[in-house]
Structure 1
């Protein structure tokens, strides 16, 4: 079996406490006058509309059924499914579903009915339809696998489960759902109820450098590159060439440093530092203004089968001047931070699509300055994002 050798490590989040959970419900039918099925799920409170689960978290809840009169029931099941669709809502992978994890809660796990919820006929075999009447509730718990194996021809490849994904303009989407089924046997129509949920796998970010961890715990100012050089990665310098006011050619060397390791959590702050070096003092003053340097976190979507590639900048650096003992007439120093959105998805490598991130320095734009070159990033550096 082949495997993705460069897959990032995954680590489960701590189990949420009861105070962290919210209930989501969906109902089929009228629970006042007719047969009904209610699916109740407990999840994190990160989405008001859909339950949300991380890798390593159990999906827990209950199925409540109500039958005013005896109803033939063969089995009551609940399952978690994942489908991958293309833009025309046809599946792009072999088979209809890439994931189907389900459990039978009745008859295998039936509990004693209350006095006002009589069981008309006690089940004696799992395969024989029985009749149920009244209100009954069945708890359930499902665990999603962290990985699955997909086959293409004679090759089997293992992947981590992809996140819920639906972006404007993308030719594909992934959708997870919980499905409750009341199987009623032959000559009877099954009852089926679905609830969409969000799946957000998370990477395990590497720990920050020791001094920065101590500063954070002690509520001190975050440390710069001069205070803790081993906690930073300095990228190769970029040489910018251009003209001032269309007359005077200038050259400037720009060096970007970023907090290491290059693995960050959504909702966190990425620290960065910028050094500008030039013999032209006027150009140095102009381009070292905090509003001029453009550094961002860029997200990339790839789908080779669809020849699809899209980039979008999800967060930008905010700069300020920094006094430095190394400062000279030919150098300026800026320190900055990039605040990552809380809803960023983790890096993902899946069969027909990839989600990745990079740190990008974009061309500087300033009145009176024009650079020589294409409108492309001066530099890019791959980074990893972990969903919080």
Structure 2
């Protein structure tokens, strides 16, 4: 049985709570003009969900208001929200109503078993009206605990941005010592697990009557940001100049790993190349932006460098790994029966660098001349990538991975699938201030199609995960 988790639309970048603030010139005389900021209201969209009698007569409705920029098919919220709207009753004749309760909840769902298992991430409930409330017992219009006419209760409920779990908790949101950022809504066609968020309006009608219930699925995006760029990288982005190489901007790069690539050239000529892959620091990147890369290659064999140190030969990709653990009866057993999906999502593009460290140098100790070739690179991130998530029983992780070189006439000494693997984080919003710039020249694109594995198509379109 497939799990009926909803698909929802591609979401834009940034924080929907941040107002658009165009500068306005202050024209008061005798003062130097200065830039003032007038917050602009966020455009909102209303979604309405109804219960109707026959002939289309509405009995009750749940109205939810959310940022329009983030919400197309369903209401979508970022960070703490809040979730706003109203609960409405339209009763043309007196009717017994015991309670009107609104609940907001988040769940991890899995259908690996006959009865779908779940972990409740959080539940927030608010009683809109109750027959035992002070209003019901003192207002004469609520005669015999029956309601008649039109009623409306506005609501505003904040979403907990972080939730806690204890290692020994069982089947629910048990307070504990481990705190986790609330994960983003997640659903993908082949995965038998996902993260689901709902608003549920429950109208209790008393004994011998069926209660009314209105469910509303909503999208949720955690608000996560990277740290600001180091000083030299910030200046380069602001001035539109090339990024400085790792020998100059030491704080702006992280060495993923140094590897020795050994193999045979043209089936007869043994070669060895020292390869260093650098990843831009800090190691957290906003989806829709870029991951800058830098490769430095040393060898005494100039011919080998000419073949391997090219934009077409170097293969570096962004790998996504999703791990979800079952059964979910106890969070302390999350290592049991894990499901896993691991795939390369996008390949880096490379182009020649003008770095001063390129060229030839003589190693007097070894008595040979060493050659150096460097390349600039970028991984262009999709705007709909799922952000990194470290959550009990459901994790989304990313790595920058260097794969074996793709060069005709070269055969590696060892058949390795991964030469370098370095963890990175994908976040949902930008750090304050300067943003990354794409430097890849036109025409430098990867021509290799990515091989889809594990039987799941790569779907990063508007109806896929975000």
TM-score of the two chains, using structure 1 as the length reference:
0.83
Counterpart in the other structure of 1:167: 188
Match in the other structure for 2:17: 15
- Select which of 168, 172, 176 maps to 2:197: 176
Distance 1:188 1:28 in 2: 15
Q: Give secondary structure in 1 for the equivalent of 2:243.
A: coil
Shift in Å at residue 347 of structure 1? Answer: 2.2
**Secondary structure, in 3 states, of the residue corresponding to 2:222?**
coil
Q: Shift of the alpha carbon at 1:335?
A: 0.6
- Name the structure 2 match of 1:78: 102
Q: Give the 3-state SS of the residue equivalent to 2:17 in structure 1.
A: coil
1:132 aligns with 2:148: yes
More displaced 10-residue stretch of structure 1: 334-343 or 367-376: 367-376
Cα contact 1:121–1:130 (8 A) shared by 2: no
The question of whether the paired residues in 2 share the 8 Å contact of 1:171 and 1:306 is answered with: no
Cα distance in structure 2, aligned partners of 1:31 and 1:93: 35
Q: Which residue in 2 is equivalent to 1:144?
A: 159
In the alignment, which residue of structure 1 is the partner of 2:60?
37
Tell me the C-alpha RMSD between the 2 structures.
Answer: 2.9
Q: Which has the higher contact order (CA 8 A, sep 6+)?
A: 2
Name the counterpart of 1:203: 224
Cα deviations by residue, 1:265-322 (Å, 9 ceiling, x for unpaired) = 1112111111122222222112122122111221112233223232122232111111
Q: Which residue of 2 aligns with 1:223?
A: 243
The verdict on how the C-alpha distance between 1:364 and 1:30 changes in structure 2, with shifts beyond 3 A counting, is farther
Separation of aligned partners in 2, 1:59 and 1:21: 12
In the TM superposition, residue 224 of structure 1 has moved relative to its aligned partner by 2.6
* Alignment check: 8 A CA contact 1:13 1:57 kept: no
**How many Å separate the matches in 1 of 2:426 and 2:193?**
21
The count of residues paired between Structure 1 and Structure 2 equals 361
> Separation in 1 of the partners of 2:217 and 2:424?
30
- Residue 321 of structure 1: which of 336, 341, 352 is its match? 352
SS of the aligned residue for 2:336 comes to: helix
3-state SS of the aligned residue for 2:48?
Answer: strand
Q: Distance in 2 between matches of 1:257 and 1:186?
A: 68
The alpha-carbon distance between structure 1 residues 31 and 76, as it changes in their structure 2 partners (threshold 3 A), is: farther
**1:325: Cα distance to partner?**
1.6
The answer to whether the aligner puts 1:243 opposite 2:284 as a matched pair is no
Moved more, 99-108 or 236-245: 99-108
CA contact under 8 A between 1:258 and 1:272: conserved in structure 2?
A: yes
Aligned with residue 106 of structure 1, among 105, 108, 129: 129
Structure 1 match to 2:286 = 265
How far apart in 1 are the matches of 2:242 and 2:152? 52
- Shift in Å at residue 353 of structure 1? 2.5
Q: Can you give the 5+ residue segments of structure 2 that lack an aligned partner in the other structure?
A: 1-13, 20-40, 134-138, 171-175, 326-334, 361-370, 430-466
C-alpha separation in 2, matches of 1:281 and 1:184? 83
Is 2:180 aligned against 1:185? no
Name 2:5's counterpart in structure 1.
none
Cα deviation digits, residues 86-138 of structure 1 (max 9, x gap):
224745456xx342111122369x9xxxxxxxxx96348xxx7331224x332
Give the C-alpha shift of residue 209 in structure 1: 0.9
Shift of 1:235: 2.8
Q: Is 1:277–2:298 an aligned residue pair?
A: yes
Would the alpha carbon gap of residues 85 and 154 (structure 1) be closer, same or farther in structure 2, given more than 3 Å must change? closer
Report if the CA contact (8 A) 1:202-1:346 is conserved: no
Aligned equivalent of 1:25: 48
**Alignment partner of 2:79 out of 55, 67, 76:** 55
Q: SS in structure 2 opposite 1:207?
A: coil
The answer to whether the aligner puts 1:122 opposite 2:141 as a matched pair is yes
Shift of 1:196: 0.9
Q: Is the 8 A contact 1:256 1:273 kept in 2?
A: yes
Structure 2 residue aligned with 1:7: none
Unaligned runs of 5+ in 1: 1-11, 111-119
Deviates more, 1:25-34 or 1:253-262: 25-34
- Measured after TM superposition, the shift of residue 376 of structure 1 is 1.8
Rate the CA distance shift 1:192–1:359 in 2: closer, same or farther, 3 A: same
Q: Which residue of 1 aligns with 2:414?
A: 373
Q: Per the alignment, do residues 158 and 146 of structure 1 end up closer, same or farther by CA in structure 2, a change over 3 Å counting?
A: farther
Q: TM-score when scaled to structure 2?
A: 0.70
Q: Deviations over 1:235-268 (max 9, x none)?
A: 3311111111222111111111111111111112
